Amino acid sequence: MSGDEAKAFIDELNAKVLQRWEERVTRGAFVARLVDGKLPLSAIKLFFRNWGAFTIEINTLIAASYQKHLGFFKRHFDLLAPLGEKIADEFIHPKPPGHVLVMMQTAKALGLTEQETLRQPMLPEARAILDFKRALLWEGTVAEWWFSMLTEEPIGHWAAAWFRALTTHYGFSHEQAIYFSTHEEADLKEHDGVMGHGSFNRLVMQRILEDGYGDTREGYTLEYCALASVDLYGLMHRGAYEQGI
């Protein structure tokens, strides 16, 4: 595709992702009750226990994409620096081992222990998105993995909603809810010279389409990889809601 064609394709698909997120996550029972301050703390704790375990593993997959897709990034050498910054941001901000520190800070404010958050088996509904992402990285194409990452932009807005809910309705201080303010910034904004993760992902997707790397396997399409990711995030919320209330 030309640059204009690639950008138009991504803009259209991104709009579908945002709409799907609105339908499957934002309007779902879990988030709708959370933002109104009516979600039981038991459901919040169950979700975050699983989300904390998810965040550690998904960050290792993002790091592994550097090696798995190195051939593509050799062709687009200018993307290697922002990719390295994106990965480093997850592991060294605010200090090593990175975002896991602020995740555990919020987990502890919820009364969750390190054992519960890091070493307890995840709900199947929560593990589904992780295993889908892992399969796309190791078995799929460059395009399948990167187009599944369109979810980082809505996650940024989702994190902002969590931060407002916890600090407005559940008595959390800004420091106790720091995981969510950190992720709103990381996913949506340039911070400390690091490109917002959502913006970087879209840049990679545009290069993929311009360079002819947009191939997918039978049964997968770029739209499917993006929208199925949204649906599986919705499943994670639904599982925590049904088992946590």
> What pTM was estimated for this model as a whole?
0.94
pLDDT at residue 188 greater than cutoff 80: no
Structure tokens at 193: 């010279």
DSSP 129-185: HHHHHHHHHHHS-HHHHHHHGGGHHHHHHHHHHHHHHHHHHS---TTTTHHHHHHHH
Contacts 24+ apart (CB under 8 A), 17-21: 17/150, 17/151, 17/153, 17/154, 17/226, 17/227, 17/230, 18/153, 18/154, 20/227, 20/230, 20/231, 21/151, 21/154, 21/158, 21/230, 21/233
Tokens 């460059």 belong to 142
Q: How far apart are CA 62 and CA 212, in angstroms?
A: 22
Which letter does DSSP use for residue 37 in this model? Answer: T
- Domain spans in the chain, listed from the N-terminal domain onward: 3-244
How many residues in total does the chain contain?
Answer: 245
pLDDT at residue 46 greater than cutoff 80: yes
User: Exposed/middle/buried for 56, CB within 10 Å: 0-12, 13-18, 19+?
Assistant: middle
Q: How far apart are CA 229 and CA 227, in angstroms?
A: 5
178-187, pLDDT tens digit by residue? 999 887 775 5
Structure tokens at 145: 């993995």
Q: Indicate the CATH number of 3-244 among 3.40.640.10, 1.20.910.10, 1.10.10.60, 1.10.12.10.
A: 1.20.910.10
Gyration radius (Cα) of the chain, Å: 18
How many angstroms from the chain centroid is the CA of residue 62? 10
142-184, pLDDT tens digit by residue? 999 999 999 999 999 999 999 999 999 999 999 999 999 887 7
48-82, pLDDT tens digit by residue? 999 999 999 999 999 999 999 999 999 999 999 99
